[in-house]
Amino acid sequence: MKQSEENSRLLGSQSEYPSPSTSPTVVSTGVECKVYKTRWYVLFVFTAEVFIYNLTWNTWSPIQEPCKVAFGWTDFDLLLLSSWAAIALLATSLPLIWLMDSKGLRVSVLLTTFLAVLGKGLQAVPFDDTTMRTIFINLGQFLCMATGTVALGAPPLVSATWFPPSERTTATAIGTLVGYCGIASAFAVGPAMVSGVIAQTNVSNASISNNTQDLAKLIDQQLIWYTYFELALCTVVFLCALVHFPARPPLPPSLTSSIPHRLSTKASLKKVMKNRQFLWLTTIRALTFGVYYGWVSLLDVFLKKFHVDAVTAGWLGCSSMLAGVASGIIVGR
């Protein structure tokens, strides 16, 4: 079978899909299609949401040593913060899947961006009591990570709703991979804004340099400003989605985008759970995803055994993540 025949049988006649254009096109079935420039704004806002999600997930890992000084945390406390992503996904996956299927993109994105603002707001409350501060940080982390189903699962929905077939793989790659720049940013920005070593060497007062309690307060202040910075980013993304983030374009970009869902969320889940290929691919994806992210979340701890400081470890994580993002978008295109 020739490549052209394979594409024809799987996707239909090429005449059914309009090329990217701002003028409406009527396909052979009589469905009017149009590709809107707004699609890039929608993709930008959604990608910013994914960026915030990944930034929040990786907030605490690159600054583990300063957090131990400021709050008296152990490796378990830091591992718990990284684990809230998996815990929250188990708790919220089915409700958010239903929400995306029944209410569409706008409601889903507004809810997830609002939860990010609320979660970061809780983390920014400057309690003097370290126990209360730790509780609110974990609660805020759970709320931020509760949005993972939309942030990680909706890129194909965004591309299918707003983009023509010729751009969908690229749009999905951008929506998925550019968001991982949030992880890379956390590796670079975190140690730069919050570092016990930097704080200790920059303070000329010997009483502060030799006093762990005063140093902890100084690091805590840096953590508060770092959290305010992330809260500002979350608020900007939420406002952008609130002002303009349509659930779908007035006209579909292609024939396939105009076809409504024929199965309910429950029926769809039952169908995929009986598909052996789907279960096999999901298992492979889960194993690689879990091992990689488990390793990244403790990169600072692992490299410390080799006498690698937090700043260097952060830049190693940042550069490796950016390399993956660039190569992934190129392959997707």
User: pLDDT of 4-42, one tens digit each?
Assistant: 443 444 344 444 444 555 555 555 556 677 877 888 999
Q: Which of 156-160, 166-170, 313-317 has the lowest mean pLDDT?
A: 313-317
Q: Is residue 247 part of a domain?
A: yes
Instruction: Supply the pTM of this predicted model.
Output: 0.75
Q: Is residue 220 part of a domain?
A: yes
Q: Is residue 226 part of a domain?
A: yes
72: closest CA among 187, 192, 215, 204? 215
pLDDT at 243: 93
State how far the Cα of 326 lies from the Cα of 328, in Å rounded to an integer: 5
Structure tokens at 289: 């995803």
Count of domains observed in the chain: 1
Q: Which whole number is the average pLDDT over 180-192?
A: 84
Q: Is residue 306 part of a domain?
A: yes
pLDDT in tens, 44-91: 999 999 999 989 988 888 888 888 888 888 888 888 888 898 888 888
Residue 249's pLDDT band (boundaries 50, 70, 90)?
confident
Q: Is residue 13 part of a domain?
A: no
State how far the Cα of 178 lies from the Cα of 65, in Å rounded to an integer: 28
Q: Is residue 264 part of a domain?
A: no
pLDDT at 250: 82
Q: Is residue 268 part of a domain?
A: no
pLDDT in tens, 270-323: 777 788 888 888 788 777 776 776 677 667 667 777 777 767 777 777 777 777
Q: Is residue 76 part of a domain?
A: yes
Domain containing 51: what range? 34-255+298-332
Asked if 285 and 166 touch (Cβ cutoff 8 Å), the reply is: no
CATH of residue 69's domain is 1.20.1250.20
